[in-house]
Structures are given as C-alpha cells and as structure tokens.
Chains A and B, each alone.
Chain A
Amino acid sequence: MLLLTRGAAVLACVTLWTASLSLQAQGAAGTSPMPEGPGRSLVSTQCANCHALDVALSKRITPGEWSAIVKTMIGLGAPITDADAAIIAGYLGQHYGPGASAAAPAASASANASAGQAGQVSALPDFPGRDVLTKKCMQCHQMSMWTALRQDRKAWDSVMYRMVGRGALWTEDEISAMAGYLARVRGPQ
C-alpha cells in the first residue's frame, strides 16, 4: 500500500515542484550530466515531461525521501507506474543521495549497488536475472520491499515461492533466475 502523505516530504516536494516549473527545460547551462544507470532514461523522460531537472537534481536526500517525492508527483498527476516509480526513486537515491557529488561517475552505478549503504541500495547491478527481477517484482511493489534483506539462496528461493503464494505467476526458471540474482547481490555479508 502506498502512503502518500508525510507532511515534511510533501511540503518539500511541493516546493520543489513549483520551483521546478519556473525553470527552463532540461539541459540548461550549468547542469551536470546525469550518471548512467538503471532509471536514468526514466528520469529524463517522465520527470522532465512536466518540469526541468535542475532544481530536482540539486537535492541530496535519502532514497526514502526520493521515494516520497516521486509518490507525491504521482499524487499531483504524473502518469508514472509503481514499477517505474521504484526505478526512478532507486536511481535518484543512488546518484543524488546525501554526500553524492553533482555528477556521480557512470561506472559507480552497478559497482556500488550491492556494496552496502546499509539497506539503502537502490540500483540494480547488471548480473543475470536482473531483467526478469525488474519485470516481475516491480510489477506489484517497490524495491524497498527487499533491499533491507540479506540472506542465502535458500531463503531467497523461499521468498520467491511465497510470492507465488501471493499470486505471482512465474515459471520455475524465472524463480531460479530471480533468487539467484538476489542471492548474489543481497546474499549474507
């Protein structure tokens, strides 16, 4: 279930929204290039559909705060699916989080994805199984449902079959690919 109203976040993003509307289109002078990584094109298209990115990308906030902002944008009418919202929030959380430089190196997108950030990992490293995971899991919920977990392959297998119990229509091959991927990027430390 999405919870859309968290006072401070709403206020912040409404401010962000209105400020952004007054700016010129994306790519204005002085804007740093956006790092490569999953979600980059979505941010470029979906967010920039309605407002310029300069002010938005000047923020350095946590993945949770990015997620709240994206939800609020949906509340304001942005036609973004939950799956896309999760990817967008993940991208922004990784590259525009606290302490991030204005232009994070492109290579860091996948390299850092499984390396920690204490449960705030939002990007998806490019290993086998990533595509099927993106397609299947994010059909219904956000990455934050599982990015807080670290467990072995058996436990990830079990998670996948519990999702089958919750209505996911997946083949055994797809389950194996997703569990294998998660065990690799979210295995025991």
Chain B
Amino acid sequence: MRNLVAQLLSNGISRRDFVRRLVAAGVTTTAAHSILDSVTAIAQIPGAPPVSPESIKLFQGTGGEAFAEQLIASGVKYIFGNSASEDAHFYDALLSRPQLQYILTPHEGPGAAMAAGYVKASGQPSIVMEAGVVGLTNALGQMFNAWKEQTPLVFYSYRTEDSLASGRDGFEELPGQDQLAAPMTKLTWMARRAEMIPDTIRRAFRVAWTPPYGPTYANWNSDFSEERFTAEIIRHDQVDPRMRVRPNPVEVERAAKLLVDARRPLLIVGDEIYKAKAFDKVVRLAELLALPVAQARSVHTNFPQQHPLWVGNIPALRVETLSYPGGEPDLVINIGNKLQHNSTALTVPRRTPFIDMRNDSASIGNVLTTAAPLVADVAYGTEDLLSAVNDLLTPALKARIAERFEEVRAFSARARQMRALVSRNPLWDASPLEADRVTYEVAQWADKDAIVVHEAGSVEIAHSFEFDPRGGRELFFYYGAHLGSGVGTAAGVQLARPKQQVICLTGDGSFLFGPTALWNMARLELPVLTIVYNNHAYSGPHNRAIANLGGGGRSIDARRFVHDYLGKPDMDMAAMAKGFGVDSERAKTPAELKSALGRARRKMADGKPYLIDVEVARHGPGWADDPWVPTRG
C-alpha cells in the first residue's frame, strides 16, 4: 500500500487505478475511496497556501458530475448546448445543481453565437456543448468568429475515437477530431483519463480568459462521463494568472515624445478598449493631446461618437482614405485595434511613424512597423502614457494642442452634418425602402442606451446611429463574418443585459444562415427586435463580383448573375419567425415600417421578441426589377 500511495502522490497512477488496486488487494470499495480521500487531502497540506474550503475541494462522483462541479467552480452560469446522448450523466448532474442553467439551442451554430453574445455582453464565462464530431462541425463557424474576435468562449464535445470500439469507422467517429478545432483555438485539450475532466475544463477557462482572449476546446472520450472517480475541483480565481501587463517604460517615454511632437496625429481605437473597459482613460488621452479619433473594423464602438474628437470610421482600412483635418496624419497611434489587413495595402503607410498599444504581442509588428511598441493591457498602457505625456507638456505645446482641438471639433461638427445628408436621397420615401431609410427609422425609434447587433451585410449604419460605450448605445458588429451569428448573438446579449433594449439588424442572406435562435428568444422571453433588410439577394457579393470583373464581362453584358439572387419565389422571413414562435410582420413602405416599430415596442414591453421583415431595394446592373434566374437544364 505504501508503494501505491507513493505512486499516487507522484502522479504515477490515477486515482481510479489506485482504488482498483486496493480493491484487488482485498480492500472494500468504500474503504478504498476513503483511503484515497484521506491521502489526497493530506497531500495538499504541506507547503500549500491557505485556501478556503470552497476554493479547492475534493469531489467524488461521475465524470458528468465532476464536469458540472468544475463549471460551477469556473464561474459558469449558462451552458449553451444541443442534445447529445453521450452526455447523459452530465445532464443528470444538472438536476441537482440549479446554479447551472442549460439552454437548449436547436442548432449548434446559432447556439454558439448566443453563448458568444452572452460572454461579450456580460464579461462572464460560458461554455458551448455539442455532440461529438457531428455537433462540433456545426459550431465551427462560430468558433472561427470567436477566434477572429478574440472572444473567451469554451467549447466542449465528447469523442468516440478513444473508446474500445475505436478504429472501426464507428458512429460519429473521426480520427483526429481535435484537429478540426486546433487552428482556431488558443488551446485544444483532451482529458486522457476520466479524472482529468475537471483539470481539462479548468485549463480551458484559464487559457480562454488570459489575455489576449480566445476560444478553447476541451474534449474527452464519451466513456469517461459515467466513470466514478475522485478529483480536485478548483475555483477559477485560484488558477487565474490575472495577467494585466504594463508597457515597457522606455517605449512609453518614446511614444509620449512622438505624440507631443506630432502636428497631425491620429488615434485609432479598437476592441481591447472595450474588453478592458478603458473608455474614460482613452478619452482623457485624446483630449489631453487633441487627438482626432477614428476606428478601423471592430466588434464594438470603442470611443464615444458624439465626442468632438471623433472623426469617423476608416472607410477602406487605410488611413489615407479617412477624411481628416489638415491632411494626412504625421503620426498614428493604435490602442487595441487588430487592424485587419485584407490586401497588401497598409492601414498605416510605412512613411508614417506608428505607435501600437495592444496586449496581443504576437501580432504587433506582424504587418506594420512600429516606432514604439507598447505591449500592455490598454487601460494600464493608457494610464502610463497619460502620465508620460503630462510630464512633457509645456505652455507652448498646450497652446498648439488647444488650437488643434478647435480644428478637429470644427471638422467633426461638419462631418456630422454631412452624414445627415443621407436623407436627401431622392429615393428616401420610395418603396421598396432604401436600406439607409430603414436604419434611420430604427435609429429614431431605438432607446438611448439600446444595444445594436449588426449583421446586415454591407449596410452601413453610422449615418443614423451614434454609439457611446460609456452608457449610451452600444454596437456588436459581425467582425468574424461567419454568417448566421446575428440572431443568436442578439439573444445572448439580451440574456446578459435584460434591462437594455436589444436590436438585431440582419440581412436576409445572413438571417437565413442562423434563424433558429428566434426560438430561444420566444422560449426564454428575450424581447429582441429583429430587423431583416430583405432585398432577396446577396448584394455584397453582387457588387464585389462586378468590381472584380473590372466592370465588364459576360455576366454584366448579359445582365445575368448566377450567384446572388434569392427571389422567385421571395422568401418570407416574417412567416419563418412565426414558425419559431416570434410575432412578426412585413413592411414595404416607410409608413408601414414606422407603424410596425410601434407594435414592436408594445410587444417587447411584454417581454416578447418581435421581427420586422422589411422589403429593401436592390441597386446595380442586372437585378433591380426583374432579375434573371438560371433555368433548370
């Protein structure tokens, strides 16, 4: 027995094997478990830091129960899953653990989007569960989104390839299942023994929630869920490295000098500001230096858009395309934006000095050269930069900065007036509606602190919605671009923020990829308003294909496009919504839309979701009125 204890304490054998061998040696099962518990408890005492009984505990039970226990210890409240018979022991464990609420989602894609929406809006952990390979593959699209958006979402599915029947091309068996998830997770990890389940889950949450955030994937053999064992359950705060990094002070000094010397600096903001809740600090830095503020593609709006220093989104991912007071910037500082590059063109030209502050050190310097790299939690980094800049400011510099502030303020005010010109469109009152008219009406109707989940293809909404992440309207944009996320995300956001109005803007194309979360809205009484911009087409691919053909080609000459028209017959999204239990209606004119919004408000006040399917005009060659449809050969 001494040898067995030694092997156990040195991790040479598993707890299960420890019990098995004791039983084989003639000890009863109950006694063997008792010995195991006492040995493990003793093992924790020497040299261990004092911990409360709640923070680390030994748990004995099935794999499914241990999974549930560790989720509770990791801070999980909501589980988003689709049914999997192999997880029966876990489902069974939930009945005696009301702290965990299981949300059944009828498709893993929108289910994962709902989980991601909840995580992003609440800042709380959550997990997506799906059946083996068959469910996992449905969730991969949203795993990709979480990867691109750096959302700390944990995925789990069981696997069958390690069972006794593996290698026989069995049901749901896929050799190398974890390779499906590996390229788009921070960690893909398999529990190799049943008692590693809590450790595996704990690790998945720890890695996902250590900056820079990102999804993780945990998995184990389906047989493990029913095995009984004893294992440690450890609360998340006991393993969380709480990594918040301050920047290199030398680089802070360098950056501060560059900033005070610049005549035409530009500040680009990004999602790390939202995640660090560093809005006020960034606003203070912008005001201290009179930095015009712009944003490149992001999930959230990370600076108050009513602020006089806000100059707008960068239209084509390059600072040269930004209308800017005083000409091209002579210095660009980025705080927390990934700066996605979709071509070889650079967001910031090589000739312009560039300061890059992000916690994602792996991508700093990947594309753009940096005059001052600031690897940091952006809240700490901005704090340090504020202090360093303050030390350098002289009365003369302050006077110059004050002058710049007025220039930017004037530009910003003029830009707001220009954006408002959108309503001068001669088709403003037309039917089908202009997409911009739809956005305008929804913006007029929305609450002052409404949350907008935007998956409406190429619809731009900045002309009518001004966001302020400090308590005004908030944006959740479909950055990752795996379509079908909008409705699910909106449901998750509403779950996280029940006191705020949530509006989902979606195109008909993206809506069709993921409408099933409407059923979750109905079942959970999540009063989301869904607006479908329905032009019965994929307008983005239509326009981009024409551009890629160089404005010519057989498709354009013949006015025949095979890839973008979804009409004949037109799809009725309002009828679909009713099928999921969501009240809805169609709107074909501005007056009908206004009236529908009134009905939506009343419905939502009763805690019910609502959908408006708005008929939107198509523009461009070959499809405005009577598009050609390929005939069956």
Contacts and interface: CB of A to CB of B under 8 A. Distances in A.
B552 A119 contact: yes
Contact of B460 (A148, A165, A172): A165
A20 interface: no
Contacts of B463: 164-165, 167
A118 B556 CA distance: 8
B316 A144 contact: no
Interface in A59-110: 62-68, 74-75, 77, 81-82, 89, 93
Nearest to B440: A165
A64 B552 contact: yes
A158 interface: yes
B313 interface: yes
A20 to B, nearest CB: 19
Given A82-B316, A118-B557, A164-B421, A1 B342 contact: yes
B313 A64 contact: no
Interface stretch (B37-45, B542-550, B590-598): B542-550
Interface string B421-433: 1101111000000
B422 to A, nearest CB: 4
Nearest to B323: A169
A3 B543 CA distance: 13
B394 to A, nearest CB: 34
A32 to B, nearest CB: 24
B192 to A, nearest CB: 41
A59 B460 CA distance: 40
Interface residues of B, number: 44
B426 A167 contact: no
Interface stretch (A11-19, A48-56, A126-134, A135-143): A135-143
A93 B548 contact: no
B346 to A, nearest CB: 9
Interface in B533-564: 543-544, 546-553, 556-557
B436 A81 contact: no
A141 B548 CA distance: 11
Contacts of A62: 550, 552
- Residue of A3, A67, A162 with most partner-chain B CB within 10 A: A162
A1 B544 contact: yes
Given A164-B421, A167-B460, A81 B320 contact: yes
B584 to A, nearest CB: 26
B329 to A, nearest CB: 15
Interface string B586-618: 000000000000000000000000000000000
A81 B460 CA distance: 24
Interface string B407-439: 000000011001101101111000000111001
B342 A148 contact: no
A81 B552 CA distance: 22
B549 A64 contact: yes
A120 interface: yes
Nearest to A72: B344
A157 B421 CA distance: 12
Contacts of A65: 550
A117 interface: yes
Contacts of B318: 81-82
A99 B548 CA distance: 22
B547 A145 contact: yes
A161 B422 contact: yes
Contact of A171 (B313, B418, B462, B544): B418
B343 interface: yes
Contacts of A164: 418-419, 421-422, 463
Given A149-B620, A158-B425, A172-B424, A118 B342 contact: no
Contacts of B425: 157-158, 161-162, 165
B21 interface: no
Contacts of A112: none
A139 B316 contact: yes
B550 A67 contact: yes
B316 A147 contact: no
A63 B316 contact: no
Contacts of B548: 3, 64, 144
A176 B315 CA distance: 22
A50 B311 CA distance: 37
A23 interface: no
B1 interface: no
Nearest to A122: B551
B480 interface: no
A148 B552 contact: yes
A9 B619 CA distance: 29
Contacts of A64: 548-553
A74 B345 contact: yes
A101 B344 CA distance: 33
A9 B547 CA distance: 16
Contacts of B549: 64, 144
B321 interface: yes
Contacts of A1: 342-343, 544
A89 B550 CA distance: 9
A161 B424 contact: yes
Given A62-B552, A158-B426, A162-B434, A149 B544 contact: no
B343 A2 contact: yes
Contacts of B472: none
Interchain residue pairs A-B with the least CB separation, the first 5: A64-B550, A144-B551, A120-B552, A147-B551, A161-B425
Given A148-B546, A165-B422, 9 more contacts: A1-B343, A2-B343, A74-B344, A120-B552, A140-B315, A144-B550, A148-B551, A157-B425, A164-B422
Interface of A: 1-4, 62-68, 74-75, 77, 81-82, 89, 93, 117-122, 139-149, 154, 157-159, 161-162, 164-172, 175
10 contacts: A4-B343, A118-B552, A144-B549, A148-B551, A158-B619, A164-B418, A165-B436, A166-B460, A167-B312, A167-B460
Interface of B: 312-313, 315-316, 318, 320-321, 323, 342-345, 414-415, 418-419, 421-422, 424-427, 434-436, 439, 460, 462-463, 543-544, 546-553, 556-557, 619-621
